[in-house]
Structure 1
Amino acid sequence: MKHRTVMMYTQIGCFVSCLSGWILVSSTLAIEYWIWSEVSNVVLTTSNYFSNLWRDCVSDTTGVSDCKDYPSMMALSGFLHAARALSVCSVILGFFAGVLTLIGMKCTKIGGSELANARVTFAGGITYLASGFCGLIVYSWWGNKVRSEFVDPNFRAQKYELGAAIFIGWGGSLLLITGGSVLGFFSGKEGLRSTSQKTIDRPYSIPLARSTRTNMTAKLSRGTRLPPLIIQESRSVRESRTTRTSGTYNRDAFV
């Protein structure tokens, strides 16, 4: 199997993985079970409290639930503001990463040359990594806060447990990070290797061009008319060499 075919299938697999992770992370913004708690004395009076980034909800055993949005955005804690910002950034970065990956993948043939496509795909992989890390920070930070409050004996307010959205977010973030890492690694090897190779070979191309031009000038000046600047440069080079080799020294020169 050719190298290009292997790379194409690898990119497709990474893109499917990252797309699945982005869908999971996006779905957590609408899921209400980020945290939940159950308060019950008897079976008929059981109440469930749950909330997410946007609202608080309560339900009972009859199936009736009531949700209320947070009353004031300015009155919210800095923790909730940071969680909202990172969650939205994760979704936005994942969207743009998907666009870049679709443009640069070998199977789509939307971009230009192979080198340009590899660099665009590398940018998409890095953006997927940023999206995954933003989501992982949110869910890990939220989970650590819930855990620390639950095990703290001095915490007197109502204690909550981790909801389904946190576990879904962890899975989606890991898919984004894994797919973005593999996509960026292979695309970076293909797209950045050419740049490094040109940088290494560039210093040796300048003296080679000068020597080639000198030889061509010496050969063509015998029977072909050349521009005056090239002829003058070649004469100055020959005169300087003649001056260096034809210098004679006698005894009086060293006294």
Structure 2
Amino acid sequence: MDPIVEVVALILGFVGWVMVGVALPNRYWKVSTVDGSVITTSTIYENLWMSCATDSTGVHNCREFPSLLALNGYIQASRALMIAAILLGTFGLVGSLVGIKCSKAGGENYILKGRIAGTAGVLFILQGLCTMVSVSWYAFNITQDFFDPFYPGTKYEIGEGLYIGWCSSVLAIAGGVCLACSCKAGTKEKYPLRYHDRGTAYSGAAPSRSAAASTYERNAYV
């Protein structure tokens, strides 16, 4: 395992985990569009939890969604995926802190530490995938309604919360891949050494047998 790669992977995973926590409560997942509007008196913006409006004087008014079951299916799924991403990232951080080679936690059993670090890398990858699916699904519904000429409701554009979520998913996946590949490379490096040791032992034993055979042949002719 390369300690430098592991530390970089840990930093990427941590930053991705923090950005998930920033994106989840962010109010600007979608913002009402001004396309085709001559005068805009208010701006409406929503996230997974509430809908807010601000007027031209800067007064904000927010209202939480009253019922979970009355929400659209993609909003419920996005909530579940984002919460799952935070949980997976939390376990991934704990596992990476224990499993990286430069950490004193977990003792000196580097084989076990490598397995824990590899598991943490998989958890980071799952975190990134959950975040990516959540924000992409939400953005797909925004663009679908925006380009639908027969959609009667308010049309929205993609807000900053989704961009934070996309950046978070990329960082988490990159950190997880680096951590998993680092542990895999460290495991592969051990086997050629063992094979070389066995080959050396065998090559060292071969001259003894040949020397014994030549001695036997000389004794037979005498």
Rounded to whole Å, the distance in 1 between the matches of 2:137 and 2:72 is 14
Rounded to whole Å, the distance in 1 between the matches of 2:185 and 2:4 is 16
Rounded to whole Å, the distance in 1 between the matches of 2:74 and 2:190 is 45
Please, which runs of 5 or more residues in structure 2 have no aligned partner? 196-222
1:147 deviates by: 0.9
Rounded to whole Å, the distance in 1 between the matches of 2:87 and 2:190 is 31
Q: Name the structure 2 match of 1:106.
A: 101
SS at match of 1:102: helix
1:100 deviates by: 0.1
Q: Name the structure 1 match of 2:19.
A: 24
Equivalent residue in structure 2 for 1:116, among 106, 112, 130: 112
Rounded to whole Å, the distance in 1 between the matches of 2:72 and 2:153 is 16
Equivalent residue in structure 2 for 1:132, among 128, 149, 154: 128
1:192 deviates by: 7.0
Q: Name the structure 2 match of 1:15.
A: 10
1:191 deviates by: 4.1
1:111 deviates by: 1.4
Provide TM-score, normalisation by structure 1.
Answer: 0.70
Determine if the alignment matches structure 1 residue 147 to structure 2 residue 143.
Answer: yes
Q: Post-superposition, which runs of at least 4 consecutive aligned residues in structure 1 deviate over 2 A?
A: 38-42, 188-195
- Ranked by relative contact order (alpha carbons within 8 Å, sequence separation 6 or more), the top structure is 2
Counterpart of 2:65, as a letter, is: Y
Q: Name the structure 1 match of 2:217.
A: none
1:126 deviates by: 0.4
Where do residues 158-173 of structure 1 align in structure 2 (5 Å cutoff)?
158-173=154-169
1:77 deviates by: 2.1
Rounded to whole Å, the distance in 2 between the matches of 1:20 and 1:107 is 20
Q: Name the structure 2 match of 1:86.
A: 81
User: Contact 1:97–1:128 (CA<8 Å) still a contact in 2?
Assistant: yes
1:144 deviates by: 1.2
Rounded to whole Å, the distance in 2 between the matches of 1:116 and 1:34 is 41
1:18 deviates by: 1.1
How many matched pairs? 193
Deviations 1:25-62 (A, max 9, x none): 111111100000156653xx620000000000000121
Determine if the alignment matches structure 1 residue 179 to structure 2 residue 175.
Answer: yes
Rounded to whole Å, the distance in 1 between the matches of 2:38 and 2:189 is 67
Q: Percent sequence identity over matched residues?
A: 33
SS at match of 1:48: strand
Provide TM-score, normalisation by structure 2.
Answer: 0.80
User: Contact 2:29–2:158 (CA<8 Å) still a contact in 1?
Assistant: yes
Q: Name the structure 2 match of 1:229.
A: none
* Larger Rg computed on CA atoms: 1
Counterpart of 2:91, as a letter, is: F
Deviations 1:205-250 (A, max 9, x none): xxxxxxxxxxxxxxxxxxxxxxxxxxxxxxxxxxxxxxxxxxxxxx
Counterpart of 1:62, as a letter, is: T
Rounded to whole Å, the distance in 2 between the matches of 1:169 and 1:90 is 11
Deviations 1:103-128 (A, max 9, x none): 01111121131111111100000000
User: Contact 1:36–1:49 (CA<8 Å) still a contact in 2?
Assistant: yes
SS at match of 1:130: helix
Determine if the alignment matches structure 1 residue 48 to structure 2 residue 43.
Answer: yes
1:188 deviates by: 2.4
Q: Name the structure 1 match of 2:71.
A: 76
